[in-house]
Amino acid sequence: MTDIVPRSGVSMIVSGPFARYWWASLVSSTGDWITLFATIALGNAIGGEVGVLLALLSRIVPGLIVGPVVGVLTDRFDRRKLVVIADVGRGLLVPALLFATNLPVLAAVNFGLEMLSLLGQAPRNAMVPRLVGAEGLVTANSLILGSTFGTIPLGAGFSWALASLPLVTFGGLIPDATAGLTFAFAFDAATFFVSAALIWSLPATRTRVVSAAAKVASPKARDDFVEGIRFFWSRRSVRRVIVGMTSALMGGGLMIVVGSPFVTRVLAADDTGFFAIITMAGLGAAAAVTWLTLFGTRLLRRDLVFAFSLLATGGGLTATAFTSTVFGAASWMAVFGFGAGAAYVMGFTHIQEQVNDEMRGRVFATLFTLMRMGLFVAMALAPSLDLILDQSGIGPLGTPKRGVLVVGGLLIAASGGATLWSLRDSFGRPHFGPEARDIIAEAVKARGGNVGSSEEADDGDQP
């Protein structure tokens, strides 16, 4: 990991390589949200609720297919080039959505966009430690979280403003059904090209020298793939964070499906009430980002903070299920958002610190694949769980919507509790900072040892 002097959050986004990386993330994330809102509107116009569901699922399924392959590519090629290829590819493909006048075409284009997004996702996260150094990871991940999810209102605002512009069909070339989205998709394509230019200006990030012939040699690629799977299953420090984040996303997926019906049918509010609780969840996440940006470098036990953050996330969602007013639900959703934001930052930081650079791409690809699987399973099971609770009786909760939220909250909280339990043997041990762990890891490697995760140096985490 590069020896870089720690900097404040403001200075990190003003100058230097990470500043260009962060602005690229901000710009491309804005484009991502514009595309998401536009494709949801397009799916709704074409096929109603089925169209919306298909638009969302076509952005989840690709991760189940190509995630592990992306991990191997990330650890064998220059990560910067992979991100640039992904951004340029998305910039070229986004305009194809203007010709998606039926659900199969919409799903196909969305599928291609998500494949390219996956190609750049693992390399983006694997690049961060080289740009900021060990001491800057918490602040960097807090800033990245802000640029990723803080741009939701920005993307929504741009979507509304661009949709209000006059229709443009270029002489009938663009179908009337999608002409209202012309400026939205054009603006989105531009954001990806800008992001690609910024990422291209960064230093090369190849993890190891690999010949052109070796890069495409399938036996070696298969060996890398198998090595990544073995690493994941053999390293508790990595596995517990990935499993925790996957479980958290499963619980959050249940909330996504029943959140709006819960507000409108159980709390007897309108769509404004749903937007209110989502806004409070976002403000909670923003508070977590601010807290970690200011004080995160003092929190050496990333795993403990991660576990307690999961407990806060699950507790907030569970408490939301028992509320009877929008104000009460919004208050507890702020706790949910704070925990989720802190868990996101500390989980990513923990992986970046504990996994060596040559293995980091495959680990992040595994994380994103499992998170997508968790979200997919949760969204698929939520309606069935709602029906089962409705037919079996749910006692004092009074409605199955509350029951689904309780299940989601308890799932997240149980994940946090299991993480704490797995850490119980390390509570009394001294915990070293990232620089000390790197020194110990290098010493072990110099003696002929194999240290894939530098946390083995201080918590005894062995295969």
CATH of residue 35? 1.20.1250.20
Q: Which of 136-150, 155-169, 427-441 has the lowest mean pLDDT?
A: 427-441
Residue 461 lies in a domain: no
Residue 51 lies in a domain: yes
pLDDT at 438 over 70: no
Which residues, in sequence order, are CB contacts of 335 under 8 Å at separation 6+? 284, 312, 315, 316, 319
H and E: helices and strands count for the chain: 18, 0
Give yes or no: residues 139 and 84 share one domain: yes
Residue 209 lies in a domain: no
Q: Which of 259-268, 303-312, 351-360 has the lowest mean pLDDT?
A: 351-360
The pTM of the full predicted model, rounded to 2 decimals, is 0.71
Segments forming the whole domain that contains residue 376 = 220-455
Decide which of 158, 178, 203 is a domain's last residue: 203
Confidence of residue 427 (pLDDT cuts 50, 70, 90): low
pLDDT at 208 over 70: no
Confidence of residue 462 (pLDDT cuts 50, 70, 90): very low
Amino acid making up residue 293: T
pLDDT score, position 393: 63
The phi-psi region of residue 48 (left if phi > 0; otherwise alpha if psi is between -120 and 50; otherwise beta) is left
Give yes or no: residues 31 and 173 share one domain: yes
Residue 453, beta-bridge partner list? 355
Give yes or no: residues 134 and 236 share one domain: no
Give yes or no: residues 196 and 241 share one domain: no
In this prediction, what percent of the chain has a pLDDT beyond 70? 74
Give yes or no: residues 172 and 242 share one domain: no
Decide which of 170, 203, 236 is a domain's last residue: 203
**Listed residue (463, 238, 253, 231) closest to 379, CA to CA:** 253
Query: Across residues 222-232, what is the average pLDDT?
Result: 62
pLDDT at 96 over 80: yes
pLDDT at 22 over 70: yes
Give yes or no: residues 415 and 296 share one domain: yes
Query: Across residues 332-352, what is the average pLDDT?
Result: 86
Residue 367 lies in a domain: yes
Amino acid making up residue 364: F
pLDDT score, position 64: 67
Give yes or no: residues 132 and 276 share one domain: no
103-132 and 326-354 are packed helices; what angle lies between their axes, rounded to 10 degrees? Answer: 60
Give yes or no: residues 124 and 225 share one domain: no
Give the chain's domain count: 2
pLDDT score, position 460: 43
Residue 214 lies in a domain: no
Residue 212 lies in a domain: no
For 446, the token pair is 């110099």
For 144, the token pair is 């990245």
Give yes or no: residues 295 and 441 share one domain: yes
Which residues, in sequence order, are CB contacts of 327 under 8 Å at separation 6+? none
pLDDT score, position 433: 54
pLDDT score, position 452: 47
Count Cβ atoms below 10 Å from residue 7 Cβ, excluding itself: 20
pLDDT score, position 463: 36
Which residues, in sequence order, are CB contacts of 428 under 8 Å at separation 6+? none
Decide which of 150, 175, 203 is a domain's last residue: 203
CA pair distance 133, 127, nearest whole angstrom: 11
Give yes or no: residues 165 and 251 share one domain: no
In this prediction, what percent of the chain has a pLDDT beyond 90? 5
Residue 309 lies in a domain: yes
How high is the mean pLDDT of the chain?
75
Give yes or no: residues 183 and 330 share one domain: no
**Digit-coded pLDDT (tens) for 361-412:** 777 777 777 787 777 778 777 777 777 777 776 655 667 888 888 888 898 8
Distance of CA 385 to the CA centre of its chain: 25
Residue 208 lies in a domain: no
**Listed residue (9, 23, 295, 1) closest to 131, CA to CA:** 1
pLDDT score, position 281: 82
Q: Which of 25-29, 259-263, 310-314 has the lowest mean pLDDT?
A: 259-263
Give yes or no: residues 190 and 232 share one domain: no
Which residues, in sequence order, are CB contacts of 419 under 8 Å at separation 6+? 240, 241, 244, 303, 306, 307, 310
